[in-house]
């Protein structure tokens, strides 16, 4: 199907160089509004959103949070650096 041609996977390495794991989040099947954050390349000179790895204060679970890098005006697209 047409949907299968799109890949909505966020990959992040968590842990030290000697250990750790890769986390794959597939936003095609489940997610929230942040799944619509796009890569800034060919759209804007720089990203306006960044991501952080944090531990949830109540559960200790690893979570990935988004934050703005500058003021974003209403109607402006959220754009992040997807990396290489």
Q: What are phi and psi of 5, to 5 degrees?
A: -75, -15
Q: Is the model's pLDDT at 3 over the cut of 70?
A: no
With bands split at pLDDT 50, 70 and 90, how would you rate the model's confidence at 12? low
- The 10s digit of each residue's pLDDT in 29-72 is 777 787 788 889 999 999 999 988 888 889 888 888 889 999 99
Neighbours of 34 (CB within 10 A): 16
- The DSSP symbol for 78 reads P
Q: What are phi and psi of 3, to 5 degrees?
A: -65, -35
Q: What are phi and psi of 52, to 5 degrees?
A: -130, 145
Lowest mean pLDDT of 13-17, 66-70, 79-83, name the range. 13-17
């Amino acid at each position: 199907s047409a949907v299968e041609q799109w890949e909505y996977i966020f990959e992040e390495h968590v842990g030290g160089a000697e250990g750790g794991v890769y986390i794959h989040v597939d936003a095609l099947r489940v997610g929230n509004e942040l799944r619509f954050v796009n890569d800034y390349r060919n759209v804007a000179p720089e990203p306006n959103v960044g991501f952080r790895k944090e531990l949830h204060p109540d559960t200790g679970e690893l979570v990935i949070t988004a934050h703005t890098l500058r003021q974003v005006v209403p109607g402006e697209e959220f754009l992040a650096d997807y990396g290489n």
